[in-house]
């Protein structure tokens, strides 16, 4: 048995209408189905579930979800996110354009231009042995 890829992402929310508005209006995801305690949204092959919870955990480490965006759409999408209240949580230090932001529930997210091939090419150029990481 082999993992074929990422199946879906589930994020907790304390306010479903607010979360749906953020993910559809600011990020451009498509609302597929909504019910009292959650919603399914999509973007390409990504399936995102929003689940209503009484509280959302505060994660203080580097754990986050990164969304892929075309280079031509990066600046406009960053502007749209900021207009919808997205707050920056980290400055980009890796290859490729990235905007690290939080959603209204404080989930750490990233908008990234690039792919695994560009990240591997960048890492292979590093000359100091042991300095390779996930591109932080």
Sheet architecture: strand order including 38-43: 9-13, 46-52, 38-43, 30-35
What is the rounded distance in angstroms from the CA atom of residue 101 to the CA atom of residue 107?
A: 8
- Please name the residue ranges forming H helices in the chain: 16-21, 71-83, 116-124
> Which entry of 32, 34, 53, 110 is annotated as an active-site residue?
110
| Cβ atoms < 10 Å from Cβ of 89 | 14
- Please name the residue ranges forming H helices in 36-83: 71-83
Active site residue 110: yes
Sheet architecture: strand order including 87-90: 65-68, 108-112, 98-102, 87-90
Q: Where are the beta strands (DSSP E) in 14-61?
A: 30-35, 38-43, 46-52
Residues annotated as catalytic (active site), given as ranges: 110
């Amino acid at each position: 048995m082999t993992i074929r890829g990422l199946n879906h992402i589930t994020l907790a929310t304390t306010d479903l209408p607010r979360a749906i508005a953020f993910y559809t209006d600011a990020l451009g995801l498509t609302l597929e189905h909504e019910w009292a305690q959650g919603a399914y949204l999509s973007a390409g092959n990504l399936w995102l579930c929003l689940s209503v919870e009484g509280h959302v955990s505060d994660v203080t480490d580097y754990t986050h979800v990164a969304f892929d965006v075309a280079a031509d759409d990066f600046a406009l999408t960053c502007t749209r996110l900021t207009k919808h209240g997205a707050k920056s949580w980290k400055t980009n230090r890796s290859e490729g354009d990235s905007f690290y932001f939080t959603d209204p529930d404080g989930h750490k997210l990233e908008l990234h231009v690039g792919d695994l091939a560009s990240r591997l090419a960048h890492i292979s150029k590093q000359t100091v042995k042991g300095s390779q990481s996930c591109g932080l």
